[in-house]
Amino acid sequence: MRIFISGIAGFLGSHLADNFIKEGHKVVGCDSLIGGEIDNVPSEAEFYQYDCCYRNSMLKITKNCDLVFHTAATAYEGLSVFSPHLIAQNIVTGSVALFSAAIENNVKRIVFCSSMARYGTNKTPFKENFKPNPQDPYGIAKVAAENILKNLCETHGVEYVIAVPHNIIGPRQKYDDPYRNVVSIMINLMLQNRQPIIYGDGNQKRCFSYIDDDLYCLKKMAFSDKVVGEIINIGPDEEFISINTLANKLSNHLRFNLNPTYVKGRPKEVLNATCSADKARKILGYKTRTSLDDGLKKMISFIKKKGTKKFRYHLDLEIINELTPKTWKDRLF
């Protein structure tokens, strides 16, 4: 198969590319490098440094592809209320430009990576049949892209699948990005002997998943007949922990003397967010193979091996006011 992966220089996109190449598929991919790293792109892949927002470029590079795996996104949920134009452009415009080009080029299937942000303040654990209730421009943009994908695919007879990954950790995840990835940020700080900064009281809860457990399911979403037209949460529902517990676990693994700094909570942050894995277990045979502690230890080893990094404030804050977290406004990391 000839498989197109958008966001191929990113965390998920590059791992998917490696896996598909290993299985003998031809992989073509694009990335604007706004959030990814060129070193992540496998050398066997045909790579284009293109932005998904440009439909003509997408039309050119999705030619003769059988499958599109759309992972490209500015996956910045907390930032999205302060940089809504950046987020909406890369998620709504970027997705629609790619979907339009792929459908014009007669791809058989499009797999779209959505986000748990689609569920917003629904009760936990989030199930796929819940009515979306996104609380921020990131989640709203993901739901808009989902709806347009569904509409276009139903109209033009193209298969589609919506994957809902959540809080994945693992090698290649960016850890110098001050706007996202709480586990990586905390490890990068603690390894520099710096205290983590926690938004709000730290009692907000999440489930974290290790990349290998998710890849297995995401790959199945590319080929299985059972998933067509489905929305499926990808990730564990077993260890639902608070950010305070996360900080404690990491400090124990790192033998770090923890005394976090607490700052004002971020506007629109959903306090309790976790997804049910029932549907993934049933349709995709999902199983959590890596425990949370093992995943955290692997993440620590990855960052230790690569070396700590200075945080890079590489994105513009569009709206700066009294609600904008100091971590970003005053560059506290």
Ligand X SMILES: NC(=O)c1ccc[n+]([C@@H]2O[C@H](COP(=O)([O-])OP(=O)(O)OC[C@H]3O[C@@H](n4cnc5c(N)ncnc54)[C@H](O)[C@@H]3O)[C@@H](O)[C@H]2O)c1
Interface residue list for ligand X (CB under 6 A): 6-7, 9-13, 30-36, 51-53, 71-75, 90, 94, 113, 115-116, 165-168
Furthest CA-CA distance within the chain: 58
Is 199 in a helix, a strand, or coil? strand
Residue closer to ligand X, measured from CB, 32 or 204: 32
Q: What does the alpha-carbon distance between residue 73 and residue 94 come to, in Å, rounded to a whole number?
A: 8
d(CA 161, CA 189): 37
CB of 322 to ligand X, least distance (A): 28
Note whether 99 and 110 are within 8 A (CB). yes
Shorter beta-carbon distance to ligand X: residue 87 or 191: 87
Burial pattern 290-323, b for ≥16 Cβ within 10 A else e, equals bebeebbbbbbebbeeeebeebeeebebeeeeee
- Spell out the residues 6+ positions from residue 199 whose beta carbon is closer than 8 angstroms to its own: 78, 243, 263, 264, 265, 266, 269, 325, 327
The encoded tokens of residue 225 equal 């007949």
- Cis peptide leading into 125, omega within 30 of 0? yes
Q: Are strands 240-242 and 205-207 parallel, antiparallel or unpaired?
A: antiparallel
Q: Tell me the closest approach of the beta carbon of residue 10 to ligand X, in angstroms.
A: 2
Q: Please, what is the minimum distance in Å from the beta carbon of residue 259 to ligand X?
A: 28
The DSSP code sequence of 57-102 is HHHHHTTT-SEEEE------TGGGGTSHHHHHIIIIIHHHHHHHHH
Q: Rounded to the nearest whole angstrom, what is the least distance from the CB of residue 281 to ligand X in the complex?
A: 19
Q: Rank residues 49 and 252 by Cβ distance to ligand X and give the closer one.
A: 49
Residue nearer to ligand X on the CB measure, 73 or 161: 73
64 vs 28, 106, 255, CA distance in Å?
10, 8, 52
Query: 138 or 256: whose CB is closer to ligand X?
Result: 138
Shortest Cβ 141–ligand X spacing (Å): 10
- Closest to ligand X by CB, 99 vs 256, is 99
Nearer to ligand X, 65 or 256 (CB): 65
What does the DSSP assignment read for 29-61?
EE---SS--GGGS-TTSEEE---TT-HHHHHHH
Is the CB of 30 or the CB of 140 nearer to ligand X?
30
Beta carbon of residue 255, minimum distance to ligand X (angstroms, whole number): 27
Tokens found for residue 260: 């976090």
Q: From the CB of 158, what's the least distance to ligand X, in Å?
A: 19
What minimum distance in Å lies between the beta carbon of 198 and ligand X? 19
Nearer to ligand X, 40 or 327 (CB): 40
Shortest CB 75 distance to ligand X, Å: 4
